[in-house]
A and B are shown apart, each in its own frame.
Chain A
Amino acid sequence: MIRVLIIDDELLARNIVREYLSDYRQVVIVQECSDGFDGVKAIMQHRPDLIFLDVQMPRINGFEMLELVESPPAVIFTTAFDEYAIKAFEAHAVDYLLKPFSKHRFDKALQKWLERRETEAPQTNLPAEATAQMQLNTHRVVVKTGGKIKIIPFTDIYYIEAADDYVKIHCDDGVYLKNKTMAYFEQMLDGSLFTRSHRSYIVNVQEITRLEPYEKESYLALLKSGDKVPVSKTGYSRLKQVLGL
Chain B
Amino acid sequence: MGTYLHKLLYLGFWFLWSAIHAFVLSEWGYPAKEAWTDSLVSNIWLAIVCTLVIYCLRYYLPRKDRLTYLLLLSAGCVVVWSLAARYTIPLFGNETLTGNFSDTLYLRTAIAWLMIICVIMMNVLWYSQEEQQEQERRNNEAERIAKDAELFKLRQQLHPHFLFNSLNSISALVISDPAAARTMVHQLSDYLRNTLKKEEHKWVTLSEELEYLQLYLEIEKVRFGQRLTVVIDNAEDNATMKLPALLLQPVVENAIKFGLYDTTGDVSIRILAAVSDNMLTITVQNPFDPELSKPGGGTGFGLSSVQRRLHLLFGRSDLLVAKGNGNLFTTTIKVPQL
Contacts and interface: CB of A to CB of B under 8 A. Distances in A.
Contacts of B167: 99-100
Interface stretch (B88-96, B158-166, B246-254, B304-312): B158-166
B133 interface: no
Interface of chain A, helix or strand or loop or mixed? Answer: loop
Contacts of B161: 56, 80-81
Nearest to B180: A12
A12 B292 contact: no
A10 B169 contact: yes
B73 interface: no
B156 interface: no
- Range of interface residues on chain A? 20 to 34
Nearest to B171: A100
B15 interface: no
B289 interface: yes
A80 B168 contact: yes
Given A82-B160, A100-B171, A59 B165 contact: no
Contacts, number: 64
B223 interface: yes
A13 interface: yes
B264 A99 contact: no
Contact of B263 (A15, A58, A81, A101): A58
Interface in B159-194: 160-161, 164-165, 167-173, 175-176
Interface string B271-308: 00000000000000000010110100000000000000
Nearest to B294: A153
25 contacts: A9-B224, A10-B223, A10-B224, A11-B224, A12-B172, A12-B223, A12-B225, A13-B168, A15-B172, A15-B176, A16-B172, A19-B176, A34-B264, A35-B264, A58-B261, A58-B262, A58-B263, A59-B262, A59-B264, A59-B292, A80-B161, A80-B165, A81-B161, A99-B165, A100-B170
Rank and list the top 7 A-B pairs by shortest CB-CB distance, nearest first.
A80-B164, A12-B172, A99-B168, A100-B168, A100-B171, A12-B169, A16-B172
